[in-house]
Chains A and B, each alone.
Chain A
Amino acid sequence: MRNIWTIAKREYNHYFSSPIAYVVAFMIFLVLGIIFVAILQQSISMAIQQSNSAPDISPITGDIVFLLVFSVPALTMRLVSDETRMGTMELLLTAPVRDWELIVGKWLGGFLFILTIVAITLIYPFVLNSLVTPGIDQRVMMTAYLGVILVSAAFLGLGVGISAIFSNQIAAFFLSMGLFVFLWWLIGIPGQILTVGTDVFQYLDMQAHFNNTLNVGVIALGDVVYYLSLTALGLFTGTAAVEMRRWR
């Protein structure tokens, strides 16, 4: 545990001295800010027309996960591949650290950074909550944020796994992004077209586990298990990749 924490702490601190992390944070906040303003305007005009629609937080959280598809690869691409490139892998692999501790530490560092960004986005629901009476739906807000956290964990796990396979950051970046796009938008499509095996594709569809449940206020155990499994799969792949490197 201590090793994981030591490695995570270093990675977390590293983000604050890396331009990529700032660019990612800036993009996320810029896009969310614009969307937030749009939501506010829409709510105001709806209120003027005396519509009963209360402002909703789910567009914001929906967009956070949309942004994660493109920003997590930028945050994970160097996590392990950079150690290989700089040769510092030799240092870590000859220190009394187990391979899985190294990978989980890397993941945790990235996860904590994403959590920091996500925590800052809480400003939007709080603002929204203070603008309307009797406030926004607290339950949807909680489950949506739980969903964001679970999706981040899964993306980061997969990203770290891919970063451990490649010693080239760019390769890790594009492959991670490709995989995320595939899991988020594409894998569910056969489920809508085909008549057989629909369940399988629907289950694998990453988006469905968020948009249909967590982002509308429902916590289903299956969704939590799904995201945690993806995280574990990524971390397992990463550990195996490091182990393979030793044998090569």
Chain B
Amino acid sequence: MIRVNGLTKDYGSRRAIDHLTFEAEQGEILGFLGPNGAGKTTTMRILTGYMPPTDGEAVVAGYDVMSESIEVRRRVGYLPETVPLYTDMGVFDYLKFMADLRHLPDGEERADEVLEMVGLVDRANSMIGKLSKGMRQRVGLAQALLHRPEVLILDEPTIGLDPGQVVEVRKLIQDVGKERTVLLSTHILSEAQNICDRVLIINKGKIVAEDTPEKLQSRLLGAERVALRVRGDADGLAKTVEKVKGVQIVESKGEDTIEFQFAPGHDIRPEVAKTVINAGYELLELRPMGMSLEEIFLELTGDEENHKARGEK
């Protein structure tokens, strides 16, 4: 369980995260989405007890990250973004060392178990420095799972993995996420969509959107979003278009343009066109907006210049 209230962190005069407030329950996989420098890693570092916040409070697994840091750290499994590992140690020895630091009574058996989970049993005696990036990533994940943590905090867990491994690791996260709380950061939107129960989009230290992936998708993705422009005035156009079966959200965008959405796969543009013409409007343009999840992401996180550069308002 993670409970964050008004969490703020300043690096000198730069505010890295600005009054973040969110919660994640047991059995929930919360996705943390945002561009580089949005404050994802900073938030995770505070939640894992690596550094204290400037302001606000965070409760992880029932303990305050500031005053009960050690208790929090006992219950959290953390995979940092940089996957720090002792490159001069063997995989098994490294896990044994981490198990000892966590006072696990069954350290060696547990090390074997997590190696099995991440599929690295055959590399147990390899030097970490000789492993590929994907393998190191999995060693880091094994380390995070070692002590059966109540809360798992994973910073970009699938980065550097090949597509097959990505699928495996995602499945692993989903499995362990059934009875734990998982907070994972990613900038791969399909990943957030696939494995997260809820998604938090963060930009410049602030939460800009928070919802289930499905809702975010239907609200924003609306795979087929269409702009409709007519000659002259678009008065009453929205009402006309709304009557067409399948049209979902109609918004007026300026004098002569409206935008609407429909469910992906049910192309109703011909019907809309017929209706508009029958109603006496002169149809100039019926342009698909092609709003992908990537664009929603940019829409939510991009700054003004970004929009200008892409020729949007």
A2 touches B103 (CB 8 A): yes
Chain B residues lying within 8 Å of A94, measured Cβ to Cβ, are 48-50, 73, 76, 78, 80
Cα–Cα distance between A140 and B266 once the two chains are bound (Å): 96
* Interface check A14, CB cutoff 8 A: yes
CB-defined A-B contacts under 8 Å, sample of 6: A3-B101, A90-B84, A92-B101, A94-B76, A94-B78, A96-B70
* Interface check A48, CB cutoff 8 A: no
Cα–Cα distance between A17 and B98 once the two chains are bound (Å): 19
Of A6, A17, A89, which contacts B101 at CB under 8 A? Answer: A6
The stretch among B85-93, B157-165, B184-192, B293-301 that forms the contact with chain A is B85-93
A87 touches B76 (CB 8 A): no
Cα–Cα distance between A124 and B82 once the two chains are bound (Å): 49
When each residue 1-44 of chain A gets 1 if its CB lies under 8 Å from chain B and 0 otherwise, what string results? 01100110010001001000000000000000000000000000
Of B11, B82, B85, B101, which contacts A95 at CB under 8 A? Answer: B101
Cα–Cα distance between A228 and B74 once the two chains are bound (Å): 33
Chain A residues lying within 8 Å of B78, measured Cβ to Cβ, are 94
Once A94-B78, A95-B73, A96-B74 are accepted as A-B contacts, the answer to whether A86 and B101 lie under 8 Å apart by CB is no
Q: Please give me the 6 A-B residue pairs with the lowest Cβ-Cβ distance, nearest first.
A: A87-B84, A88-B84, A6-B100, A94-B48, A96-B73, A96-B74
Cα–Cα distance between A62 and B88 once the two chains are bound (Å): 35
| B 23-55 contacts with A by CB, 8 A | 45, 48-52
| B 83-111 contacts with A by CB, 8 A | 84-88, 97-98, 100-103
A246 touches B88 (CB 8 A): no
Chain B residues lying within 8 Å of A247, measured Cβ to Cβ, are 51-52
* Interface check A91, CB cutoff 8 A: yes
Instruction: Specify the main secondary structure of chain A where it touches its partner.
Output: helix
* Interface check A139, CB cutoff 8 A: no
Cα–Cα distance between A247 and B12 once the two chains are bound (Å): 11
Give the size of the chain B interface in residues (CB under 8 angstroms): 27
Once A95-B73, A95-B101, A97-B101 are accepted as A-B contacts, the answer to whether A246 and B84 lie under 8 Å apart by CB is no
Cα–Cα distance between A88 and B139 once the two chains are bound (Å): 13
Cα–Cα distance between A190 and B102 once the two chains are bound (Å): 50
* Interface check A46, CB cutoff 8 A: no
Cα–Cα distance between A149 and B88 once the two chains are bound (Å): 29
Chain A interface size, under 10 / 10 to 19 / 20 to 34 / 35 or more: 20 to 34
Distance in angstroms from B56 CB to nearest chain A CB is 16
Distance in angstroms from A121 CB to nearest chain B CB is 28
* Interface check A93, CB cutoff 8 A: yes
Cα–Cα distance between A96 and B74 once the two chains are bound (Å): 5
Cα–Cα distance between A246 and B85 once the two chains are bound (Å): 19
Once A88-B85, A96-B70 are accepted as A-B contacts, the answer to whether A6 and B97 lie under 8 Å apart by CB is yes
Q: In chain A, what residue has the closest Cβ to B153?
A: A94
Chain A residues lying within 8 Å of B101, measured Cβ to Cβ, are 3, 6-7, 92, 95-97
Distance in angstroms from A139 CB to nearest chain B CB is 41
Distance in angstroms from A100 CB to nearest chain B CB is 12
B103 touches A246 (CB 8 A): no
Q: In chain B, what residue has the closest Cβ to A10?
A: B97
When each residue 61-81 of chain B gets 1 if its CB lies under 8 Å from chain A and 0 otherwise, what string results? 000000000110110101010
Cα–Cα distance between A50 and B225 once the two chains are bound (Å): 109
Q: In chain B, what residue has the closest Cβ to A98?
A: B70
Cα–Cα distance between A10 and B97 once the two chains are bound (Å): 8
B84 touches A91 (CB 8 A): yes
Chain B residues lying within 8 Å of A98, measured Cβ to Cβ, are 70
Q: In chain B, what residue has the closest Cβ to A2?
A: B103
Cα–Cα distance between A246 and B69 once the two chains are bound (Å): 12
Distance in angstroms from A99 CB to nearest chain B CB is 10
Chain A residues lying within 8 Å of B143, measured Cβ to Cβ, are 91
Once A6-B100, A97-B101 are accepted as A-B contacts, the answer to whether A246 and B70 lie under 8 Å apart by CB is no
Chain B residues lying within 8 Å of A10, measured Cβ to Cβ, are 97
Cα–Cα distance between A86 and B88 once the two chains are bound (Å): 11
Cα–Cα distance between A246 and B49 once the two chains are bound (Å): 9
Chain B residues lying within 8 Å of A86, measured Cβ to Cβ, are 84, 86-87
Chain A residues lying within 8 Å of B102, measured Cβ to Cβ, are 95-96
Cα–Cα distance between A6 and B103 once the two chains are bound (Å): 10
A90 touches B52 (CB 8 A): no
Distance in angstroms from A110 CB to nearest chain B CB is 17
Cα–Cα distance between A247 and B98 once the two chains are bound (Å): 24
Distance in angstroms from A226 CB to nearest chain B CB is 34
Of B51, B76, B100, which contacts A246 at CB under 8 A? Answer: B51
Of A88, A93, A248, which contacts B86 at CB under 8 A? Answer: A88
Chain A residues lying within 8 Å of B103, measured Cβ to Cβ, are 2, 96
Chain B residues lying within 8 Å of A97, measured Cβ to Cβ, are 101
Chain B residues lying within 8 Å of A3, measured Cβ to Cβ, are 101
Distance in angstroms from B151 CB to nearest chain A CB is 12
Distance in angstroms from A240 CB to nearest chain B CB is 15
Given contacts A6-B101, A96-B74, 18 further A-B contacts (CB under 8 A): A3-B101, A7-B101, A10-B97, A86-B86, A88-B86, A89-B84, A90-B82, A90-B84, A91-B84, A91-B85, A92-B101, A93-B49, A93-B50, A94-B49, A95-B101, A96-B71, A97-B101, A246-B52
A90 touches B86 (CB 8 A): no
Cα–Cα distance between A87 and B136 once the two chains are bound (Å): 14
